[in-house]
Structure 1
């Protein structure tokens, strides 16, 4: 069962739109993060996906919170949400299903075990395909038919056709929108054919939050850290993101990393040591002087010699 909720009341977006929300509780509904800040354009795109059954692809650099954005919209709509990572290890059988041996009445019998795709299709579930542009070709062609708005899934081995549940929704996240690893930032990203991309009704782009909004989230999560200190921490994070875009760094600070850094400040009592343990020690040795310079520029102090690395 569904009921309508106000987008203005639930998401804080100035619009008169109302969208359906599910009424039945489910273990797959994500938990609501009350400190989460919604991007207006991406939120409206995702709400169109939930309300009008549009296929929505969210593109952006890693660390921008693409999957989390989908989960938080689903959480506020009480919509079950399941994420599947399309890494190189996910096979067609993992997605569709395979024959497996089960025990029935004390006898071992072979029985077809559904994969995640037919399982989700038959339920009121928002299926999120993470790292969509890293999927294997055989997996992508399975997904292609389901991308149609009324896309049915044919299980040839079972001689069965599965029609999607009325509340089934399909989303995806990607770093490159199917253009491949053009700038060398995302190894393993595949070029997708135009037929794949064309089947996504809506493509939204998500960037990192504005500094003030990100600082507000960190402050809400870690209220014991001084606001001015958090602003400097977010400034360091944005410098790492700019360095990543131009190829100076091979990694960047996500909002999650900034929150971890702030939490570690409360543990160690020193912003420099917490920075080393939260981010610097994850960086390549050749890139650490660049990251240390970012820290110096934002805090007007040098990083001390790094402590012994903790395994």
Structure 2
């Protein structure tokens, strides 16, 4: 029998008896130590040429797990950012917030780091409809019996998964206040919102067999992504977001995720374009065209930083543009469908200027954009008048 099977057998034996918090913690550590791992230098794992100061070797589980994200070999990591996140995780930080503009790769950074570390994770996307039952669970009826079920966050906390909450700023502020104990790294939490049996002895509230008490698994981590950092916004681009309680924000280690450097973005875009071309059996994109798409994005981002534009251009937008360019075989139509149509009216004027600067010619708009309704109406009315006069 393997060490892993022994760990399961011991766990099953202990769950039949009364379990203490110390028992759960010991069982978790026993299960972790029984898993086969390979120690890999951090810089090699993430594709850097030099060692990551202070990080050293990282344990990588060699057993496959269905909740480990798939590796994207074309993903480009920021060496400094990866180093600081790894050291924060190593130092015990269990709540990490990634803040940045749309399309800077916040969620991709989390998933691709976990793919390299072979660490399983689950996630949920925030919205005004998410409440504490989605995160911490509730009581439900199953087969005529009352049953306690976990939420995404409490399940990850119990089982040692990473929980990723995307779009944190869309949650109602009170929801995050309700998970303060998890955010600050408490080793044990009590799910009192499940209700308390009035016949229960108060000392039994800490009985981990009772379902209300959850012991934190040592491998648990909470990651969240956000465009605003949970702070008050008056910008129309962040419509639907909520300012979060400052005490909540203070419980999380926050990192800023910027756009990639131009050379990195070109490498990532070329890799994505090549993969798409191979999958769809298309002619691959020329590196000069890749450079032009990235140049357009940075011209627009500069305009945004100078408050000349209402919005930004994300990596996912130029990636979509590249894919459509190869599929359509047409620069202009692919640009319109991938980027232009999503822009505010005032930003479209700016986009036309940047397009002309990058490609040394004016954009040729497809027929649905070539004429306004007024132009079409005037032409039609004039034709009718001429017809009537002729009659």
| Fold conserved between structures, TM > 0.5 | yes
Match of 1:207 among 258, 275, 299: 258
Which residue in 2 is equivalent to 1:186?
Answer: 238
For 1:307 and 1:5, locate their aligned partners in 2 and report how far apart those are by CA, in whole Å. Answer: 56
Alignment of 1:162 with 2:222, yes or no, is: no
Alpha-carbon offset, residue 279 of structure 1: 1.2
Checking the alignment, whether the CA contact within 8 Å between 1:20 and 1:51 is kept in structure 2 is: no
* Equivalent position of 1:91 in the other structure: 131
Once residues 132 and 233 of structure 2 are traced to their aligned partners in structure 1, the CA distance between those partners, rounded to angstroms, is: 23
Q: Is the 8 A contact 2:132 2:178 kept in 1?
A: yes
User: 1: CA distance between counterparts of 2:97 and 2:109?
Assistant: 12
Deviation at 1:154, TM superposition (A): 1.2
The alignment status of 1:217 with 2:259, answered yes or no, reads no
Deviation of the 1:247 alpha carbon: 4.6
**1:26-65 to 2 correspondence within 5 Å?**
26-54=65-93, 55-65=95-105
1:77 corresponding residue in structure 2: 117
State the shift of 1:246 in Å: 4.6
The residue that corresponds to 1:111 in the other structure is 147
Instruction: Point out the structure with the larger strand share.
Output: 1
Q: Match of 1:128? A: 164
Unpaired stretches in structure 1, ≥5 consecutive residues? none
Deviation, 1:217, is 1.3
Contact 2:333 2:365 in 1 (8 A): no
Q: CA separation in 1, counterparts of 2:362 and 2:213?
A: 64
Deviation at 1:150, TM superposition (A): 3.4
User: Alpha-carbon deviation of 1:182?
Assistant: 4.7
* 1:246-267 CA-partner distances (Å, limit 9, x unpaired): 5544443321221221111111
Greater fraction of residues in helix: 2
The CA RMSD measured in Å over matched residues stands at: 2.1
Correspondence for 2:382: none
Residue number in structure 2 paired with 1:277 = 337
How many residues were matched structurally? 304
**2:142 corresponds to 1:102:** yes
Measure the CA separation in 2 of the matches of 1:125 and 1:138: 24
- SS at structure 1 position matched to 2:39: strand
TM-score (norm 1): 0.90
TM-score normalised per structure 2: 0.72
Using the alignment, how far apart are the partners of 1:151 and 1:299 within structure 2? 57
2:240 and 2:341 mapped to 1: Cα distance?
24
Counterpart residue number, 1:10: 45
CA deviation map 1:264-287 (0-9, x unaligned): 111121211110111111223343
Deviation at 1:183, TM superposition (A): 4.3
Match of residue 59, structure 2, among 17, 20, 39: 20
| Bigger Rg, which one | 2
Unpaired runs of 5+ residues, structure 2, are 1-34, 196-204, 206-211, 275-283, 370-391
What do residues 35-69 of structure 1 show as CA deviations (whole Å, max 9, x unaligned)?
A: 11101122112212443331322111111001100
